[in-house]
Amino acid sequence: MSNSVQQSGGGAGKSQGVPSPRQLVSALVADGLLTDPDSPRGRLLNAAARLFEQKGFARTTVRDIAAEVGILSGSIFHHFASKEEILCGVMREVTVFARARMEQAVARAGTPRQQLRACIVCELEAIHGLAVPGFSILVVEWRSLSPQSQKRVLRLRDDYEQLWRDVIAAAGNPCEDPALARRLLLGALTHTHTWFKPRSRGLSLPELADRVLQLFAPAG
C-alpha cells in the first residue's frame, strides 16, 4: 500500500489503542494481504498508483513508472507481465486496504447505526482523497482491466461490499433491501466527488456523513 497512507493520518483515529494507518498497513503486510511498500514490487505499485491518478492509465507508460522509481523500464517485467497487470495489482491493494480500514472503523463503533455512519465516513474520506490513495482508480479505470483481471478484483470487491450490506442490514434501513440500499448509497457517495468541497456548502465531511446517515437510516 502507498507510503502516503503510512505517513498520513487520513481519517483513521490515533487515540490510544486505535491502530494508525501505518500500523494497519504493517499488519496487512505481515498477514500477506498487502505488498510491503518498501519492497521493489511495492515501490512500483505505489508509483503506478500515483501516476494513474495524475495522468490516467492510458497516458501512463511503463517508462513513466520506471522513471518514477529510478529503474530501467525493462526491470519492471521482473515483477509484472504488463502495465495492465500493474493496474490490477494497484486495484487489489487499494480494495484490501479500504476494506480493512472500514472494518476497523466498524469494530470501533458502538451501535449498528454508528457502524453505518463509520462506513459512510470511510468511503467519503476515500472518495475525496483523504485516506485511501488510489481509491478513485477503482471507478475511473475499471474498464481498462481485462475481463479476467476484473474477476480477480471483483472477488475482493465483493468482500468490501458484503461488509457494507451486513452493516446496512444491522442498521435496519427503511427500504429493507441491503443490496439496493448499498447501490443507492454508492451512487450518492461517489457523486459527491463532483460537487462537494468541505465547507463550500457550510458542511464538513463528517457533517455531510451525518446528513447521508439521516437519509438512509433515520434516527428512531
CA 27/CA 20 separation, integer angstroms? 11
**Measured between alpha carbons, how far apart are the two ends of the chain, in Å?**
40
* Residues spanned by the domain of 206: 22-33+88-216
| Mean local confidence (pLDDT), 101-126 | 96
Contact between residue 145 and residue 58 where contact means Cβ atoms under 8 Å apart: no
Q: Given its phi and psi angles, is residue 113 left (phi above 0), alpha (psi -120 to 50 degrees) or beta? A: alpha
Q: Which three cell numbers stand for residue 188?
A: 450518492
Per the domain annotation, does 11 fall within a domain?
no
Model confidence pTM above 0.75: yes
Q: What is the pLDDT of residues 75-104, one digit of tens each?
A: 999 999 999 999 999 999 999 999 999 999
Q: Which three cell numbers stand for residue 208?
A: 455531510
- Length of the chain equals 220
CA 121/CA 102 separation, integer angstroms? 9
Per the domain annotation, does 63 fall within a domain?
no
CA max distance for the chain:
60
**Confidence at 9, pLDDT banded by 50, 70, 90:** very low
- Rounded to 5°, the CA angle 100-42-163 comes to 15
Per the domain annotation, does 177 fall within a domain?
yes
pLDDT of residue 6: 40
Q: What is the pLDDT of residues 22-59, one digit of tens each?
A: 899 999 999 999 999 999 999 999 999 999 999 999 99
Per the domain annotation, does 41 fall within a domain?
no
Domain count, the chain: 1
Per the domain annotation, does 131 fall within a domain?
yes
| Mean local confidence (pLDDT), 102-126 | 96
Per the domain annotation, does 200 fall within a domain?
yes
Of 132, 91, 117, which is closest to residue 170 (Cα–Cα)? 117
CA-based torsion, 129, 117, 185, 98: positive or negative: positive
Q: Which three cell numbers stand for residue 67?
A: 522513471
Per the domain annotation, does 104 fall within a domain?
yes
Per the domain annotation, does 59 fall within a domain?
no
- CATH number of the domain at 174, please: 1.10.357.10
